[in-house]
């Protein structure tokens, strides 16, 4: 079962650009959520939400053992935007405390306060509670709807259509770096990669165009490094593939 948005869609969409500009969606801020959600075979969406918050509490316990400077760095929401080089140069073990763990519900509320300050005057009468729902829905709900519901149903469909291919889920770090969801292997050899997107991915809204351009750049890095093509698979939550022409592309590999 999917999560459903509890505020008007217009309000939610109005915060997309700012959410991305503030980089509140970066793994530095919320962790590699597509990796976290694969760690446990959750039976219900509520189990995933609780797991994410509990993972955030575990992160806090580990951060409490650090010195004051390390705590300040790891809890700096804007550091990845204002000083990405510092983030990149951090010790691997320190950086992992941000990227490999979830966040508590209070920490998501703090992100909603940051978002609210940037969107409160956009003419849609957004409240702080609206902004919290925007944050929660993007971090918790869209991850579940996209990875557990749409992605898995789509892969089941593709696996049925192409029993000779192996669709291998990539890590959250790979996803973030290259904007790919699965690598496609034939007889153990990498032949392509795919990213699975909802039909709304090809809407003409500015924030979606920006996301497509960012993903295109990441896909090109992947193609250059691994010498295979990245395909977009557009599907709904049931796994029904909307861009049927992609099936011919995969068949011809």
118 neighbors 7 (Cβ within 8 angstroms): no
- Residue 197 phi, psi (nearest 5): -130, 155
Bridge partners, residue 235, by sequence = 241
Residue 204's pLDDT is: 79
Mean pLDDT by 10 residues, the chain (253 residues): 94 94 94 90 94 97 96 94 94 94 97 96 95 98 93 94 95 92 96 93 79 92 96 93 92 88
Three-class DSSP category at 250:
helix
Nearest C-alpha neighbor of 173 from the set 26, 24, 21: 26
Domain boundaries, given as residue ranges, for the chain: 9-144, 162-251
Three-class DSSP category at 133:
helix
194 neighbors 181 (Cβ within 8 angstroms): yes
How, if at all, do strands 165-169 and 229-234 pair? unpaired
Bridge partners, residue 182, by sequence = 169, 194
**Per-residue pLDDT tens over the stretch 124-183:** 999 999 999 999 999 999 999 998 999 989 999 999 999 999 999 999 889 989 999 999
Residue 191's pLDDT is: 96
Residue 128's pLDDT is: 97
The separation between CA 32 and the C-alpha centre of its own chain, rounded to angstroms, equals: 7
- The DSSP secondary-structure symbol of 241 reads B
The radius of gyration of the chain from alpha carbons, rounded to an integer in Å, stands at 19
241 neighbors 234 (Cβ within 8 angstroms): yes
Cα three-residue angle 90-82-85, rounded to 5 degrees: 35
- The DSSP secondary-structure symbol of 162 reads -
């Amino acid at each position: 079962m999917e999560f459903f948005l509890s505020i008007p869609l217009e309000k939610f969409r109005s915060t997309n650009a700012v959410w991305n500009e503030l980089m509140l969606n970066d793994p530095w801020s919320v962790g590699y959520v597509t990796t976290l959600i694969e760690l446990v075979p959750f039976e219900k969406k509520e189990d995933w939400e609780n797991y994410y918050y509990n993972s955030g509490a575990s992160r806090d316990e580990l951060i409490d053992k650090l010195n004051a400077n390390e705590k300040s760095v790891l809890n700096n929401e804007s550091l990845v935007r204002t000083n990405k080089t510092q983030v990149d140069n951090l010790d691997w073990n320190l950086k992992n405390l941000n990227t490999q763990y979830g966040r508590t519900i209070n920490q998501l509320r703090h992100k909603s306060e940051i978002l609210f300050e940037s969107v409160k005057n956009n003419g849609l009468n957004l409240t702080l509670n609206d902004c919290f729902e925007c944050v929660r829905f993007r971090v918790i709900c869209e991850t579940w709807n996209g990875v557990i519901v749409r992605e898995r149903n789509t892969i089941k469909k593709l696996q049925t259509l192409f029993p000779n291919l192996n669709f291998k889920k990539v890590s959250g770090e790979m996803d973030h770096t290259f904007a790919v969801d699965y690598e496609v292997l034939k007889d153990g050899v990498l032949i392509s990669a795919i990213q699975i997107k909802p039909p709304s991915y090809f809407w003409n809204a500015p924030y979606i165009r920006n996301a497509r351009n960012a993903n295109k750049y990441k896909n090109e890095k992947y193609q250059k490094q691994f010498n295979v093509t990245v395909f977009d698979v557009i599907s709904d939550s049931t796994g029904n593939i909307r861009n049927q022409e992609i099936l011919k592309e995969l068949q011809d590999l």
